Amino acid sequence: MESYADPLKAKKMAAYMKNQFLFYGIPSPKRKALYKDFLKEEKTKKIVDWALLNQCFEDEHREFQYFVCDYLVALAFYIPFEELDRIKAYIKKGNWWDTTDALDQVIGKIGLRDTRIKQEMILWSRSDEPWIKRAAIDHQLLYKEKTDTQLLEAILLNCLGSNEFFINKAIGWALRQYSKTNPRWVESFIKQHHTALSSLTIKEASKYLTKKKTCEQ
């Protein structure tokens, strides 16, 4: 990481993230290429090295925290439900949308194998911590036709009425993504809860629905 540091890019990356984090200035493609072979080797072990990940996540450079996220996504198949609290801790420490949105993918992959995730996500959706709520909202983001709409609805209803930008954005994102698979369900949800949804949520959720109607016309 240090040998590929770029101070100019680091400054720009930090500014993009509201100057909350320190960066080496390594773009995502180059960063992932640095540990691509390492992750392949780790996958053959079929076990997560939590000691390594804890050490990396404690580093002040954001790229090390991104590495942890990429590692967990790559080895998600080998992470049991019982390790969920470790991921929750990383979401709290990461304390921003970038790490949260990577780690909710890991939760989603666990959820495809273990239904206990469902009740846990209901609990997370009631949390006072916005990043925990956001992870619950978007953990099914890549599920497509496997989306549990009953679970999705329960989680979203628990999050309505928020003044938090990143929560309302996440609700819209979840609905927008699922509208690619089931636009009627999303249209129905928006219509039914229109008064409780923020304008940001409706705008995000309606993106593909609007395009679809335009094409039909």
**What would the 3-class secondary structure string for the chain be?**
CHHHCCHHHHHHHHHHCCCCCECCCCCHHHHHHHCHHHHHHHHHHCCCCHHHHHHHHHCCEHHHHHHHHHHHHHCHHHCCHHHHHHHHHHHHHHCCHHHHHHHHHHHHHHHCCCCHHHHHHHHHHCCCCHHHHHHHHHCCCCCHHHCCHHHHHHHHHHHCCCCCHHHHHHHHHHHHHHHCCCHHHHHHHHHHCHHHCCHHHHHHHCHHHHHHHHHHC
Instruction: Give the pLDDT confidence of 185-194 residue by residue, as tens digits.
Output: 999 999 999 9
pLDDT of residue 210: 73
Specify if 214 maps to a domain.
yes
Nearest to 24 by CA among 35, 11, 33, 37: 11
Give the domain extent around 136.
116-217
Q: What is the mean pLDDT of residues 147-169?
A: 97
Establish if 29 belongs to a structural domain: no
10 falls within a domain: no
Q: How many domains does one find in the chain?
A: 1
Indicate whether 28 belongs to any domain.
no
pLDDT for 140: 98
Prediction pTM value: 0.93
Dig out the tokens for 43 from the structure.
């996958």
114's tokens: 């273990």
Instruction: Compute the mean pLDDT over every residue in the chain, rounded to the nearest whole number.
Output: 96
How many percent of the chain have pLDDT more than 70? 97
Confidence of residue 217 (pLDDT cuts 50, 70, 90): very low
Q: Is residue 136 part of a domain?
A: yes
Paired tokens of 45: 């072990």
**So what's the pLDDT on residue 213?**
56
Do residues 172 and 204 lie in contact, with contact meaning Cβ atoms separated by under 8 Å?
A: yes
Alpha-carbon distances, residue 149 vs 45, 140, 141, 156, 166 (angstroms): 35, 10, 12, 10, 21
Position 212 scores a pLDDT of: 59
pLDDT in tens, 23-79: 999 999 999 999 999 999 999 999 999 999 999 999 999 999 999 999 999 999 999
Q: Per the structure block, which two tokens stand in for 122?
A: 């209901």
Q: What is the CATH number of the domain that holds 148?
A: 1.25.40.290
Q: How far apart are the first and last CA of the chain?
A: 52
Residue 39 lies in a domain: no
Is 59 inside a domain boundary?
no
Length of the chain: 217
Token pair 């400054």 in the structure block, residue: 11
pLDDT at 95 over 60: yes
Angle of helix 130-138 versus helix 97-111 axis, rounded to 10: 40
> CA 187, CA 116: separation in Å to the nearest integer?
29
12 falls within a domain: no
